[in-house]
């Protein structure tokens, strides 16, 4: 190293480590979660958020996008549901974290319903084009498992190509996955994703409570075990501290 470099080293703050490349992370936007995962999701990465109906997958994903929008980050939400986007938005707009001024600019929606009967390559190209147009830092595909039901034979290759290109676009992508009865999480997606977060409902007495568990997060010393969550209009999706 020459003199200039040496001077640069000397000017660094005391105690600063020089060699190690830390994984850059972005906050998840979910209160309580970042404490479990060393500060946030690795950037870029692909995160599977899996759960059965009513566990809060879509709420989790929207909150992630709106948290990014608060910091000026572009969000892109692909919906593969047959339900029209405006119905989904109508329900979600009740949450206090949803700021309507972000709709259509920092949080954009793409309804993929009409694309799903196309060949796999076309679906991938369509997703890539939308991402390139928008240049998002946060992406959601909700739910990705619908595509699996349609493409069937090519699903593994589709997921491999999809996750590979998603990471190269330099964004954190949440893929939500519906869990079938008897299944813990969608296995094919879990292999392709860098992280797996499981949302579940557990019967306790006469009620069913919601839980979140980080099953896998590459490059992250994450907490294990199921943590209770609450979902309210006022606070959105929150991971509670107590562990069960």
Partner 1 sequence: MNERDLKLEEALSSQLGVDGNDYMFTTKQVFLVRVNLVILKLLLEERKKRGIAVVLDRPHGYLAHLLTLHKIDQTNLSYIDTVAKFSGDCVFEDPKKVIYTNGPFHVELLLNAFSEGYTDDFQTKVIDISEVDFIIIDNIATALTYNTMESIAMCCEALRKLAEEHGILCVVGIDPDAHRSLYSLLKGYMTNEIKIEERWLRG
Site residues for partner 1, 38-57, by CB under 8 A, read: 43
We find the least distance from the C-beta atom of residue 90 to partner 1, in angstroms, to be 27
Location of structure tokens 């997703």 = 127
| Three-state DSSP state, 33 | coil
Burial 188-208 (b: 16+ CB within 10 A, else e): bbbebbbbbbbbbbeeeeeee
Of 85, 128, 154, 230, which lies in the binding site for partner 1, with binding defined by CB under 8 A? 128
Print the binding letters for residues 56-85 with partner 1: x by CB under 8 A, - otherwise: ---------------xxx------------
Of 22, 101, 153, 221, which lies in the binding site for partner 1, with binding defined by CB under 8 A? 22
Q: Note whether 129 binds partner 1 by CB under 8 A.
A: yes
Ramachandran assignment for 226, one of left (phi > 0), alpha (psi -120 to 50 degrees), beta (any other): beta
Cα–Cα distance between 187 and 100 in angstroms, integer? 35
Q: Note whether 15 binds partner 1 by CB under 8 A.
A: no
Q: Note whether 218 binds partner 1 by CB under 8 A.
A: no
Cα–Cα distance between 168 and 108 in angstroms, integer? 20
Q: Note whether 165 binds partner 1 by CB under 8 A.
A: yes
Q: Note whether 102 binds partner 1 by CB under 8 A.
A: no
Of 90, 96, 149, 170, which lies in the binding site for partner 1, with binding defined by CB under 8 A? 170
Beta-carbon count within 10 A of 25 CB: 18
Binding span for partner 1 by CB under 8 A among 51-59, 115-123, 124-132, 202-210: 124-132
Q: Are 138 and 68 in contact (CB under 8 A)?
A: yes
How many helices (H) and strands (E) the chain has is answered by 7, 11
Cα–Cα distance between 188 and 86 in angstroms, integer? 30
We find the least distance from the C-beta atom of residue 215 to partner 1, in angstroms, to be 23
Query: Residues interacting with partner 1, by CB under 8 A?
Result: 1-2, 4-5, 7-9, 11-13, 16-22, 24, 26, 43, 71-73, 128-129, 132-133, 135, 137, 161, 164-165, 167-170
């Amino acid at each position: 190293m020459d003199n200039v470099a040496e001077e640069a080293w000397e000017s660094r703050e005391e105690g600063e480590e020089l060699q190690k490349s830390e994984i850059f992370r972005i906050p998840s936007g979910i209160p309580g979660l970042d404490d479990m995962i060393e500060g946030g999701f690795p950037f870029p990465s692909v995160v599977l958020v899996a759960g059965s109906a009513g566990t809060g997958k879509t709420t989790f994903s929207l909150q992630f996008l709106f948290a990014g929008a608060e910091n000026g980050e572009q969000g892109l939400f692909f919906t593969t549901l047959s339900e029209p986007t405006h119905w989904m938005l109508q329900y979600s707009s009740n949450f206090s974290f949803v700021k309507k001024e972000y709709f259509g600019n920092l949080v954009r929606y793409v309804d993929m319903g009409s694309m799903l009967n196309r060949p796999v390559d076309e679906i991938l190209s369509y997703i890539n084009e939308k991402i390139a147009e928008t240049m998002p830092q946060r992406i959601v595909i909700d739910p990705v498992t619908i595509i699996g039901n349609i493409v069937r034979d090519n699903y593994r290759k589709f997921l491999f190509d999809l996750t590979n290109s998603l990471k190269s676009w330099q964004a954190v992508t949440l893929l939500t996955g519906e869990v079938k009865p008897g299944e813990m999480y969608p296995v094919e997606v879990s292999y392709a994703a860098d992280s797996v977060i499981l949302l579940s409902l557990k019967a306790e007495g006469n009620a069913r409570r919601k839980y979140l568990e980080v099953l896998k997060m590459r490059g992250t010393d994450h907490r294990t075990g199921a943590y209770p969550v609450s979902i309210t209009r006022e606070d959105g999706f929150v991971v509670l501290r107590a562990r069960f």
